[in-house]
Structure 1
């Protein structure tokens, strides 16, 4: 049975059972606890938590999910995936345990000819929470499961939560016995490879608090209603029904392995070590493509770091299979071909996805080149010291700085006859993970309690009238202060106000919320912020300036008209710049994030490198030509499918309703899904002035601009600046660049000449320094402080000159250059051959004086150099060096 058929059978079964079929949400949702959607219930959390009333009593979905906690197990077991499809059926206070078990058993055991999966009932097992007698009884009555095929387990295994504060409850898991050839007898509690979990039925009834991820956390109370959340792993069911050995050999994953076989010339199934690499490639290729499709770009933090790690593991695995040429583009096309029937956006957005993949691979291949040089130096130093083990800190540096996986470092070390201090490496990795975990914990907020808005949500959504007008007569539905409902608020209070209707835009889609006021009889309040709760309720944060604001009172809600003019210009300007980017750079230059406020816009977009000045000017010109053409701005409402047919662009990470709002500027020239406020004609945007363009991560650029009056003001400031410079230089404005260029060249030549004179003067002091050498027990010692600002190169040249003038005497030269203003000191120590024959080494002398100048540094026996942070300690450092040398025996 093909995977797409499995998906359809699941949805059809529950649709017949009265469930509403809900499309998969994006992998990226606005949840402070999650990098990615990791379970099918995540999009429904507001309904489970009672923050909003569910629009349907029961639902079913096939949700795309990503989990990376077991990333190191991928390819080694039969069941671990980073990307997977979670089929689920959900009840929001409608049915509970009995119906959930009946429906699951029916779908699993009904014959394939009758629309089911056709599993043998005698090979199915169930687990229940250790004290859940009710569920065990239901399994016996409904499914006829014997006592020995129902096993009880503790909280870690059979009490479900998302490992963070939020919904939780006991669960019952369904397992399939793959047979004795796959492991030991005894059920899931003995062997979870032989007994494979395929479905988890969660009886969601409680809320958990902060605490350990799996068990031992507090149960804070009950949810407003008893709910059902189930999750069936599509990939696991596929590999059982397709008769293959693991999830990597199913119809949607095995084609990637076939492509890897083609590229490497190696055969899957011939060697277990190679097979793990094949499976890593197949799994991570799917995950990478799906993450990029939903708007993630490779980076060094959070979601971007996870994606980068996945893609680099693919490249590394391919190299270990012997593939040296780029591979990510090849795997991307395979994933598109097999997954697009369920996810058509993989075809429509293929060019952008492939571009991100190729850009990241090229970047990694470049780091492999530079990192390999660092590895070679570390390997050479290890051998020169007589060791055969590469230090753990070097392996960690290669991983942390250059993105080298430890496996790659191990392979390269083995090629040079070395091993690696893996224990030291893993210790440093553990320290880094602990720091990251601590930082994440400090940022994690848990699931905020929004149940205070439940009654307000039940009264219906706030009516937003801000597209048509700037003020509205409204009624105060409710007031919230410090997380609790209040009846009124007085002068000076800051409270949250919920109105039945409002003209004030709530922050979303990159647009700041409106500024404005709420007025009533003897009351005046300033609007500080407007946010949405559960995407339906507009919550105004206000400061009461005078009078008393009371629940149930009639008020006038007003938008600051000047603010709204600028806000419309900023948001429409963002659409125009986005369209100009795509016109100049091509369709793959897609927006991955934006922010706009009155007079200003910022737009992030996927692009492999910086833009030239000419390209920036072209984007600016295309944008302003669109303004001059006075393009019409229109809005239409359609379904998401209709919007896709029109080619409307969506903002990654945003969640859209079934009916979406499409904003067009110049028709198809700019067509985007957008809920923001906009001008009526492009000429109302006013001038658009690009401020600059920069990198915010690998493959992601950021462009900023002023629009409208802010653009005028910026240009006026720039014009005044040029005029002032022209006046100082006494040239016309248009000659300023040439004159400045001439002055810069003259300054460069003067600095070069000054440097030559200064170096000559410094080197001329070599003779005097050599003549001042002190005799320390037969050693000629020159230890001196030089003026501030001596470069490392000059320090080295002067020291070698002084050393050469000492003749055949055993000589030690130590020069220090202290810079009090900068709080730095540089030093260099060098020894001649005669001094080294007495057993001295420059590097071993450094510890004698380093504490005095708070220094770090080292080097070879003939020369050591470094720097410190205590310029005031130079005199003590020189004295300490003299004491060290005086203690050295005449012949060592």
Structure 2
């Protein structure tokens, strides 16, 4: 970053001096020429602990209001917070900063901001420093970023760097801070595809705010490099500030940690429940605790940090042993982390995130399971959902969270059950993995730990514990959870297809004339069998709706349109022939209307089923995918448990009631910001469309941004028949259904199955359930009778065959082929034989191949007869395999001609063992 970016008139006119920190080498600005260091840990320690920097104490609510009111008085419009799940983004899952609310559409200049300038207090979630939470004294997973933003263009500047610094100084001064204690540290910023110079606002060792002057956008090969990425200047430039609400509260109280300042009630309650003596009255304890807090800035638990080494550093600084420091701090830090994580979960669940194995749900489960593990370490036996409820009841500003408490309790209870099952099953897998690495004489590597966690949900602490029992070490860094969270915090970037030609966007006639089936258009380009027209009625594949089919004709030549795709606004028609079309031709297009109508019905029905599912299952439902075809559609929704039969029926009934109301399907283009203000981010259930204007579809209570084709009223959908539900992944349920003619066909198929079944049983369809139940009960009785008769037959056979037994050294050995006997009969007979201590039975059958069963009584086993070993040898001779326990074993093969040879070999093995 160029040095002159920081040579501001405000600094020069207000007596600031620019200095270089002798410890970190970074430049900073200060009013106090005697200030030596930049003010950022670890260059300095916290000096505000026990010595608050503001004139009075604030809590979260009062500080938030003081901040927002200050900026309202200074010409900013207050804007409501956005959700912590970034519904309006397709590149990140969680809202990581206040500027994320306005990326990419506002920051790119495509869409105007909701107000300009504006102020907001935005709850944010960042999990990159998950392992530092509780330990550093300052890290949080969830925090509120108080901010003021100003969106300037080259044509109109509202304010820029100097005014931003002036507002910051004025705010701090109004809060009673000595401005000589402030340092402004130069620090280039980058995030979300943008960058710019910034200054970090440091007070008493604590970073209170960051003031970013965003004027760069990320481009390949750009002239400016920041943190390994290249950028160029934007046409617009943005004041992007972030003031840490919790840090301001902490600085106003001077508490030992941010957790004591922000969550005092929850922290104290959990300390009591965990039986932790938080004895500030004990002079030695109080001294170690407060000194640790002052040096906590040195606990930079990131990258390849080693926690033990960091603790030694802090212990040395405060004159105690690392053992004594750990004994005091570890339980307390665990309480801090549980307190923080439970607030994080309150926001996640309050804003509708459902735990799962993907996207934001994965991150929610990561935090939840880490919390459960820490609660177990402290033997905290209170349900996690109760701690989350306490957090929510401490949020008077978020009444919508309290409305979801019942759902949250149910979600957390189910997750606790799943976690317990995962641990139990996971231990077996870890033992197997540990033995594998033990044989290789290697420790279990980090990649394997991450794989075990990602794929099977096994926490690394469990892996380490089980591996230790097996005598195997593991590579477990102190930053494990941060690494995993970072890996899953962003969506994978998809490669955007590009056209090699400069062609204007295709006019979309399917929006202008949704019920028209024929059109004329001009050929703009022909690429093999792909035709590009200036206009088209053909809908390209998108939004889960398949492409239209039909024909394109020129002169006497007609080609079938077999696929339609859109690339950067240009629609490409793939035909079944590359003959007959050339640039400049006028062609006639004709849609396969029956196919289009089926897609329209299913697409509109998807919106109706989605809204019905919300009304039945809860407002946490969010569409994660959909696919329509001519005969059925499927809708994937977030839900924390299986859909019950009664819920399934209710969804179907509600959906059909909406159809029968014959409601109009309202479609209109709206300014993106106006649509968001009016309807919220529920608009983006089907994905986030690009552009300043978006197409809004309203059908009944469902309102979404949707680019698909639809019927004009719900009555045209026809009946909706739900086919089935299935769990496609943890936390995601799929509903399959048919609409219109396809639904009628489903009923016809069902009726045909019903009638055929009734006919087979020679009863009417109405009598079918009772008849099937009667037959089933009779079948069960016959099965029991069959089992009884088999047992009697086996007993009779045993008595009849015992006379054929051969004596071998005190044992009676019976070798017998029983024609047509199934394996159950052989096992029953063998079991009867083995009730006699001195009997060895070798039985065979040629029913469906070769079946072999060997059984040995207790005395025979003590003499060394092993049924499993014998049956393995016998099975090899008949071309198969087998095995089992010493007392009884079974096997078989395919070569019935070798049965006698196998039986002889079995007797020979008994003779070899005891003869």
TM-score class, shorter-chain normalisation, is 0.5 to 0.7
Q: What is the CA deviation profile of residues 679-699 of structure 1, one whole-angstrom value per residue up to 9, with x for unaligned ones?
A: 344322211212123334556
Match of 1:572 among 601, 604, 607: 604
Q: Which residue of 2 aligns with 1:702?
A: 734
* Alignment CA distance shift 1:612-1:198 (3 Å): closer
Q: How much has 1:643 moved relative to structure 2?
A: 8.1
For the residues of structure 1 that align with 2:856 and 2:513, how far apart are their CA atoms? 76
Q: Given that residues 510 and 709 in structure 2 are in contact (C-alpha distance below 8 angstroms), is that contact kept between their aligned partners in structure 1?
A: no
Match of 2:136 among 68, 77, 84: 77
Q: Which residue of 2 aligns with 1:363?
A: 414
For the residues of structure 1 that align with 2:900 and 2:197, how far apart are their CA atoms? 73
Q: Given that residues 59 and 249 in structure 2 are in contact (C-alpha distance below 8 angstroms), is that contact kept between their aligned partners in structure 1?
A: no
For the residues of structure 2 that align with 1:229 and 1:453, how far apart are their CA atoms? 38
For the residues of structure 2 that align with 1:176 and 1:372, how far apart are their CA atoms? 44
Q: How much has 1:726 moved relative to structure 2?
A: 3.6
Q: Given that residues 685 and 707 in structure 1 are in contact (C-alpha distance below 8 angstroms), is that contact kept between their aligned partners in structure 2?
A: yes
Q: How does 1:545-556 map to 2 (within 5 A)?
A: 547-548=580-581, 550=583
Match status 1:314 vs 2:371: yes
Secondary structure of 1:595's counterpart equals strand
Q: Given that residues 202 and 228 in structure 1 are in contact (C-alpha distance below 8 angstroms), is that contact kept between their aligned partners in structure 2?
A: yes
Q: How does 1:187-198 map to 2 (within 5 A)?
A: none
For the residues of structure 2 that align with 1:375 and 1:84, how far apart are their CA atoms? 34
Q: Which residue of 2 aligns with 1:448?
A: 495
Q: Which residue of 2 aligns with 1:465?
A: 511
Q: Which residue of 2 aligns with 1:331?
A: 388
Match of 2:469 among 398, 403, 421: 421
Q: How much has 1:178 moved relative to structure 2?
A: 4.2
Secondary structure of 1:75's counterpart equals coil
TM-score w.r.t. length of structure 2: 0.63
Match status 1:112 vs 2:169: no
Q: Which residue of 1 aligns with 2:290?
A: none
Gaps of 5+ in 1: 129-157, 180-193, 380-390, 480-486
Q: Which residue of 2 aligns with 1:136?
A: none
For the residues of structure 2 that align with 1:885 and 1:170, how far apart are their CA atoms? 85
For the residues of structure 2 that align with 1:849 and 1:175, how far apart are their CA atoms? 82
Q: Which residue of 1 aligns with 2:660?
A: 628
For the residues of structure 2 that align with 1:700 and 1:744, how far apart are their CA atoms? 35
Q: How much has 1:749 moved relative to structure 2?
A: 3.4
Match of 1:126 among 179, 185, 202: 185
Secondary structure of 2:381's counterpart equals coil
For the residues of structure 1 that align with 2:500 and 2:802, how far apart are their CA atoms? 81
Q: What is the CA deviation profile of residues 688-717 of structure 1, one whole-angstrom value per residue up to 9, with x for unaligned ones?
A: 212123334556543322111111112222
Q: How does 1:153-232 map to 2 (within 5 A)?
A: 167=193, 174=200, 176=202, 178-179=204-205, 204=216, 206-207=218-219, 232=242
Q: Which residue of 1 aligns with 2:85?
A: 27
Q: Which moved more, 1:232-241 or 1:566-575?
A: 232-241
* Alignment CA distance shift 1:122-1:502 (3 Å): farther
Match of 2:744 among 712, 717, 730: 712
Q: Which residue of 2 aligns with 1:133?
A: none
Alpha-carbon RMSD: 6.7
Match status 1:526 vs 2:572: no
Q: Given that residues 353 and 364 in structure 2 are in contact (C-alpha distance below 8 angstroms), is that contact kept between their aligned partners in structure 1?
A: yes
Match of 1:283 among 340, 346, 355: 340
* Alignment CA distance shift 1:843-1:550 (3 Å): same
Q: Given that residues 664 and 714 in structure 2 are in contact (C-alpha distance below 8 angstroms), is that contact kept between their aligned partners in structure 1?
A: yes
Q: Given that residues 133 and 141 in structure 2 are in contact (C-alpha distance below 8 angstroms), is that contact kept between their aligned partners in structure 1?
A: yes
Q: How does 1:771-782 map to 2 (within 5 A)?
A: none
Q: Which residue of 2 aligns with 1:234?
A: 244
Q: How does 1:5-84 map to 2 (within 5 A)?
A: 9=67, 24=82, 27-28=85-86, 34-36=92-94, 38=96, 65-84=124-143
For the residues of structure 1 that align with 2:81 and 2:354, how far apart are their CA atoms? 24
Structure exhibiting the larger radius of gyration computed from Cα positions: 2
* Alignment CA distance shift 1:12-1:233 (3 Å): closer
For the residues of structure 2 that align with 1:17 and 1:202, how far apart are their CA atoms? 21
For the residues of structure 1 that align with 2:418 and 2:612, how far apart are their CA atoms? 32
* Alignment CA distance shift 1:866-1:123 (3 Å): farther
Q: Given that residues 591 and 605 in structure 1 are in contact (C-alpha distance below 8 angstroms), is that contact kept between their aligned partners in structure 2?
A: yes
Q: Which residue of 1 aligns with 2:755?
A: 723
Secondary structure of 1:724's counterpart equals helix
* Alignment CA distance shift 1:246-1:283 (3 Å): same
For the residues of structure 2 that align with 1:888 and 1:324, how far apart are their CA atoms? 58
For the residues of structure 2 that align with 1:850 and 1:173, how far apart are their CA atoms? 79
Q: What is the CA deviation profile of residues 166-190 of structure 1, one whole-angstrom value per residue up to 9, with x for unaligned ones?
A: x4878767373644xxxxxxxxxxx
Q: Which moved more, 1:515-524 or 1:756-765?
A: 515-524
Q: Given that residues 679 and 703 in structure 2 are in contact (C-alpha distance below 8 angstroms), is that contact kept between their aligned partners in structure 1?
A: no
Q: Given that residues 623 and 685 in structure 2 are in contact (C-alpha distance below 8 angstroms), is that contact kept between their aligned partners in structure 1?
A: yes
For the residues of structure 1 that align with 2:125 and 2:76, how far apart are their CA atoms? 28
* Alignment CA distance shift 1:630-1:420 (3 Å): same
For the residues of structure 1 that align with 2:107 and 2:501, how far apart are their CA atoms? 10
Q: Given that residues 636 and 735 in structure 2 are in contact (C-alpha distance below 8 angstroms), is that contact kept between their aligned partners in structure 1?
A: yes
Q: What is the CA deviation profile of residues 824-845 of structure 1, one whole-angstrom value per residue up to 9, with x for unaligned ones?
A: x99888773675588x999999
